[in-house]
Amino acid sequence: DGGTGASPLTSLKHAGSPWEMGLAETHQTLVLNGLRSRVALQVDGGLRTGRDVVIGALLGADEFGFSTAPLIAAGCIMMRKCHLNTCPVGVATQDPVLRKRFKGTPEHVINFFFYVAEEVRALLAEMGYTHLDQIIGDTELLEKRALIQHWKARGLDFSKM
């Protein structure tokens, strides 16, 4: 459930790993080896909300990459034709006729990120913090949910997170 229209459907459905696992393990390994302050950890892949940003920060991320959600804010309707130069709403095309259909503005994307930032601020305040830097890597603030019974989740071990 991620990737832009340029991503092959097989990649969307069957490739990659949950960023949460890789991020937490990377952060912990860097901390254990005294190297955490020397790198910035960036996470992306399915980030859509301020809650996603806060979870990423709690698991150790310093930077956050958004792609699909801002595309939708700009007017993308996910027709999955980015690579064909036939985007019907003019987001991903060089065809002058199709480009005239584009109704998005930079303000749409700016507003999206303002709302994401506002949600981050509200969640931080709810937790008693004022800056995102204050919670980076603080996994004790996370609460585990009940086990999800899904075929993709079988075999995943979250006990070390």
- Domains in the chain and their CATH numbers? 9-141 (3.20.20.70)
Residue 149: the pLDDT is 76
Counting other chains too, the contacts that 70-77 makes at CB distance below 8 Å and 24 or more residues apart are 70/109, 70/112, 70/113, 71/4, 73/104, 73/108, 73/109, 73/111, 73/112, 74/104, 74/108, 74/109, 75/102, 75/103, 75/104, 75/108, 76/5
Query: Rounded to whole angstroms, how far apart are CA atoms 113 and 115?
Result: 5
Residue 60: the pLDDT is 96
Nearest to 144 by CA among 63, 24, 48, 13: 24
Token output for 82: 């980015």
Residue 153: the pLDDT is 74
- DSSP assignment of 127-158 equals HT-S-GGGGTT-GGG--PPPPP--TTTTT---
Residue 98: the pLDDT is 94
pLDDT tens for 10-38 read 666 656 677 888 899 999 999 999 999 99
Which residues in the chain show pLDDT less than 70?
1-16, 147-148, 161
- For β-strands 42-44 and 63-65, DSSP reports them as parallel
What is this structure's pTM? 0.80
Residue 135 burial (CB < 10 Å; 0-12/13-18/19+)? Answer: middle
